Amino acid sequence: MGARKRFGQNFLTDQRVVQRIITAVSPSTDQHILEIGPGHGALTSHLTSFGCHLQVIEIDRDLAQALQAKNIDVIVGDVLKQDLAVITTGPTRVVGNLPYNISTPLLFRLFALDNIVDMHFMLQKEVVDRLTASPGNRDYGRLSVMAQYQCRPEKLFEVSPSAFTPSPKVISAVIRMIPRSDKPDVALPDLEKVVTTAFTQRRKTIRNALSSLLDENTLVSLNIDPGQRPDTLSLDEYVRCAKTIAEH
Ligand code: SAM
């Protein structure tokens, strides 16, 4: 099983892990499922057995051809270069054991779409821990706040390097993300501005970290302790800051 490093190819070979992912997804007939990076089809072959409408996106032409030969609907190319809105015109569930180098940009492209029902991804454990971290946790940062604004992330289980061939250097984890229908009412660029500004100076107090955007009295009026550190503010507190900078 040759693996192309540049495409982040670590193929899942542990069938117990494959089964746990399929059970977590539990596809049903008539659902549209989009699999990103199917590789040799470790997950794909199981997904097809549920009678769902399965479409896959694979960058490696040789792997794509092998899947096409099995009558799988393959889009050959880089997922980051596809117009995903055109591929997901109806309710779509997204699944993938992702190449880790593209996972963060891909997640934010998927968050921007309207029709995603849910997402199940194998990612680096470290990224899953950041996506799911709560305020005050050492993994809590910009990625946690921006992802939790977009979706409800849930860490399902960890996967050891020995489950893959070749084995990656890091521990992996499977995450479920359900897009929020109750997104806080704030303009995304304003939230991004506040959160990025705060976390570029995460060791300072929020009073100092946000001094270019909000003064101390405004923070107090928003019911935020100006002596807190950026990694202890909740999403809701960042939303309040973002709404205030939008008003000024
Ligand atoms: N799903 C398979 C499995 O579990 O064994 C393969 C997982 S492997 C970690 C990642 C897969 O994504 C590879 O098949 C790789 O060729 C593909 N891939 C890498 N970069 C991609 C991209 N930008 N767009 C689409 N597929 C990509």
- Is ligand 1 within 6 A of the CB of residue 10? yes
* 116 and 222 inside one domain: no
Write down the pTM of the prediction.
0.96
Q: If you average pLDDT over residues 119-136, what whole number do you get? A: 98
Nearest CA to 25 among 62, 59, 66, 54?
Answer: 54
- Is ligand 1 within 6 A of the CB of residue 95? no
Cβ-contact 191, 108 below 8 angstroms:
no
CA distances from 193 to 142, 198, 210 (A): 11, 9, 10
* 24 and 53 inside one domain: yes
* 146 and 196 inside one domain: no
Among the candidates 121, 145, 179, a domain finishes at: 179
* 18 and 100 inside one domain: yes
Q: What is the CATH number of the domain that holds 18?
A: 3.40.50.150
pLDDT tens digits, one per residue of 153-172: 999 999 999 999 999 999 99
* Domain span at 243: 188-247
Which atom, in ligand 1's list, is nearest to the CA of 106?
A: 23
Among the candidates 179, 200, 226, a domain finishes at: 179
Total tally of structural domains belonging to the chain: 2
Out of 4, 82, 97, 172, give the residue to mutate to test ligand 1, the one with the largest number of ligand atoms within 8 Å of its CB.
97
Say how many Å lie between the CA of residue 115 and the centre of ligand 1: 23
* 205 and 172 inside one domain: no
* 46 and 158 inside one domain: yes
Nearest CA to ligand 1 atom 1: 38
* 195 and 215 inside one domain: yes
CA distances from 118 to 154, 179, 181, 205 (A): 11, 7, 12, 36
pLDDT at 83: 97
Say how many Å lie between the CA of residue 47 and the centre of ligand 1: 16
Question: Is 206 strand, coil or helix?
Answer: helix
10 among annotated binding-site residues: yes
* 172 and 192 inside one domain: no
* 98 and 212 inside one domain: no
Q: Is the pLDDT of residue 248 over 80?
A: no
Question: Is 189 strand, coil or helix?
Answer: helix
* 30 and 108 inside one domain: yes
- Is ligand 1 within 6 A of the CB of residue 102? yes
Q: Is the pLDDT of residue 1 over 70?
A: no
pLDDT at 6: 86
Which atom, in ligand 1's list, is nearest to the CA of 9?
A: 8
At 16, is the pLDDT very low, low, confident or very high (cuts 50, 70, 90)?
very high
pLDDT at 62: 97
Among the candidates 125, 157, 179, a domain finishes at: 179
At 46, is the pLDDT very low, low, confident or very high (cuts 50, 70, 90)?
very high
Which atom, in ligand 1's list, is nearest to the CA of 4?
A: 16
pLDDT at 149: 98
pLDDT at 5: 86
140: left (phi over 0), alpha (psi -120 to 50) or beta: beta
Nearest CA to 191 among 245, 122, 115, 141?
Answer: 245
* 174 and 205 inside one domain: no
Containing 118, the helix (H) or strand (E) segment is strand 116-124
Nearest CA to 69 among 41, 35, 95?
Answer: 41
Q: What is the CATH number of the domain that holds 200?
A: 1.10.8.100
pLDDT at 200: 95
At 70, is the pLDDT very low, low, confident or very high (cuts 50, 70, 90)?
very high
pLDDT at 12: 97
Nearest CA to 92 among 121, 120, 115?
Answer: 115
Q: If you average pLDDT over residues 61-82, what whole number do you get? A: 97
Separation between Cα atoms, residue 227 and residue 206, nearest integer Å: 6
At 3, is the pLDDT very low, low, confident or very high (cuts 50, 70, 90)?
confident
* 112 and 207 inside one domain: no
